[in-house]
Structure 1
């Protein structure tokens, strides 16, 4: 049975474009042209993931997101022409799983949807998270990582950072979220700690920050583990 994606966007051309493109990739697609219609569709028909535009005619997309998060755990990707770093952080903190700035490519959107759906599926099944691209292998349950067959020696905080990113592979994790997970609730503004730790982790992974293979920076927002 195909996974259902609900697209909430008031622009007919965007809904048509996404509907055609996502159906061609094997998804079932529902469409809504307002926040109220989208919430009603989600409540009655459900969805495996939601693509939510912020500029809706009846209410702001952030309000729709807040209402949705009151009763649904469906992954949400926000679409917006608003590209400020503070806006992105606010959306992620409000419960969005990821964001894309218009204009966007449908292949990248589909890749991010698949990453969110894999994450949700693994969480539901209680499946241990394992990443293996033939070069880097990370087994969170075994707490073991190898690079080209050699065991990586990671500090406790390096491992905590890597695990936090891998659990959300394919989507951005905000700086405050990472700081809370690695250092605790009192350190959500100590971004210099994170910069230093990321540098050390990248060095051990053999990752080039200018052309990352594993850990990408979303400037001013957070980090993303590239799941391929």
Structure 2
């Protein structure tokens, strides 16, 4: 408990230095960039579940951060990011999708296409919880001419379940004293696993690209 209290104080000091508004904007910006700018395809650990959960933990530990402002803003950022991806896919089509990344990324796109064909409307919701699918399903839905309002409804549901849901879960997990330490441990494990997975995916993509060029 002493370590958790010390961490709470450190996070509070950090937010006092950089400002609560900057904290909001950084979290929202990363969530938006994860799909709108395809950042999540290369560094999923920075824009995915671990970011949301950790931001909820910070909101519980630091004074001045409103969990509902943070969570609702995160949901809106997630919604807008997917809308941009969908419109890009509809506007530029399959050739635009084919230019994303190296061979490993293109294989991920192929898997995501099969996922989209199987689950349709639900793929937009479920993909939120799958790092690679989260990036490419909106694009593929646009390329596949999914109805705009059909995609819109799925995007709203997914943004609420993922963007708002995981952030709030992180907050309440940390704000209950009996589970606070466990919440930090769980968050640390998820963040570490996501970082390792992201680095391995990036390295594998580079090796595959170098082999293809050779």
Considering fraction of residues, name the structure with more strand. Answer: 1
TM-score higher than 0.5: no
Higher relative contact order (CA 8 A, sep 6+): 2
| Alignment TM-score, normalising by the size of structure 1 | 0.24
- TM-score, with normalisation over the residues of structure 2? 0.25
Structure with the bigger percentage of helix: 2
